[in-house]
Amino acid sequence: MGGIPRNVRIKVVPPAYLDRFHIEIPEVTNENALTIVNAEIINDKSDPETYQLTVKISDPAGKIVSEGGGKKTLAPGKNNISVVMPAIKKPLLWYPDSPALYTVDVSLKSGKNEIDKLQDKCGYRWYEFKEKGPFYLNGERLLLRGTHRHEEISGYGNAIPDSLHRKDIRMIKELGANFVRLAHYPQAPEVYKACDELGILVWDEVPWCRGGVGDAEWQANTKRLLAEQINAPL
């Protein structure tokens, strides 16, 4: 089980650049959606420098509905910066039948020059399992119908091109499913993107199956894998 089953890309970056960002959604209701954008910025220069960080959230129609950021002084090395965005009023909620996705754009400028930018998407939703009861999405009862997926295809093993990942997810959606269990490990970024776009809820798993709970070292490693899985950039 060796080799690289994921896409590999080389990105040429300036001395200060956006390494990644994580979208945190602490609260969603029918009236408001709160968003925090946590950006990880690298400054490879030996001295601190000030840059303009801009974050914009656009609705599914492309209209900017929230904007934040400001001037940030970056110390040499890694800088973690959180931007609390203005609340989005009456957000379009994500449902399997209408998977509304908002676009988050993060830009880094030096003076008037944009030196780096990243983009990601997110859906606003909340969920709960009632104790000994059904599943609720956005306050409405939802019957989960789905299947599970292993990341392998004859002739490819698990080194699968994005087009075939997306084909699998389209087939699952065409079955009438609104749910998929990804067994038993993190799968390709394209799988999660396709599920978000097509309206499929995901049960995600760390790479472990039927082994029982291990010792302290095992537990620490499992927590690390879980954190990496949540924070991994798509």
Q: What are phi and psi of 35, to 5 degrees?
A: -135, 135
| Average predicted confidence (pLDDT) for the chain | 94
Can you give the length of the chain in residues?
234
Burial class (CB in 10 A: 0-12, 13-18, 19+), 134: exposed
% of the chain at pLDDT higher than 90: 85
- At 53-84, the pLDDT tens digits run 999 999 999 999 999 999 999 999 999 999 99
Q: How confident is the model at residue 10, as a pLDDT?
A: 93
Q: How confident is the model at residue 2, as a pLDDT?
A: 62
Q: Centre a 10 Å sphere on the Cβ of residue 135 and count the other Cβ atoms it contains.
A: 15
Q: How confident is the model at residue 233, as a pLDDT?
A: 66
CA atoms within 13 A on the CB side of 149: 30
- At 144-158, the pLDDT tens digits run 999 999 999 999 888
Q: How confident is the model at residue 157, as a pLDDT?
A: 87
Going from the N-terminus, what domains does the chain have, and what CATH number goes with each? 16-122 (2.60.40.10), 144-231 (3.40.50)
Cis peptide bond prior to 148, omega within 30° of 0: no
pLDDT lower than 50: segments of the chain: none
